[in-house]
Amino acid sequence: QIRTRTIIDRHVSQLQQLLREAETNGHTAPLAEYFQLMKDEPDSISQAAEILGLKQQMEALRTAESSRNAQIDQLIEKASAAADGASMPRDLEEPVKTLEEASRLAKNASERMRISVGETKVREKRATLQTKLDENFGSRVKEITEPIAALPDDELSPYDEVLRQIDEASRMPEVS
């Protein structure tokens, strides 16, 4: 009996440690592996109330971790879809917030890496959209300014139109 109690106490201690680590880092596989190894122990040990209680805690944690991981995946997918549909840099504010929410849920490097891939996609999309906006603005300015040389020196009314067009172009949103 004393030997059985000592073995149970040792397993309980080890399982509690693995459970705390899994709660922190989201990795439940070491816990599952430990319980798998415990199947080799006699029933008086593997079926002890303390061991079964910890197994229930592990199952609850696995369910919670699975849900958390699914939520991270959903947030990454949501951000990716929103980034794909963005037509202006300001449209990327929501995907950034969504990825920030996913980051708050992340517990380990693997999860943070998946989120980082999404963040990179959003940054690349922002750069592409900004470049397109800036190029369109540059083209518009060129369209406005090229004809200035051909305007008459003695009449001001054509210049008023050019100034109106310049003013209009300067109001283009999000030009850097």
pLDDT over threshold 90, residue 121: yes
Of the listed ranges 40-44, 91-95, 164-168, the least confidently predicted one is 164-168
CA atoms within 13 A on the CB side of 12: 14
- pLDDT interval class at 156 (50, 70, 90): confident
Per the CB < 8 A criterion, the answer to whether 175 and 138 are in contact is no
Count CB atoms within 10 A of the CB of residue 51: 18
Contact predicate 8/45, CB 8 Å: yes
Burial of 114 from C-beta contacts in 10 A (0-12 / 13-18 / 19+): middle
Predicted confidence band of residue 122 (pLDDT cuts 50, 70, 90): very high
What token pair was written down for 73?
């995946």
At residue 161, the pLDDT reads 79
How does residue 97 score in pLDDT terms, banded at 50, 70 and 90?
A: very high
pLDDT band at 90 (very low <50, low <70, confident <90, very high): very high
Q: Where are the beta strands (DSSP E) in the chain?
A: none
Contact between 97 and 118 under an 8 Å Cβ cutoff? The reply is no
Q: What is the pTM of this model?
A: 0.79
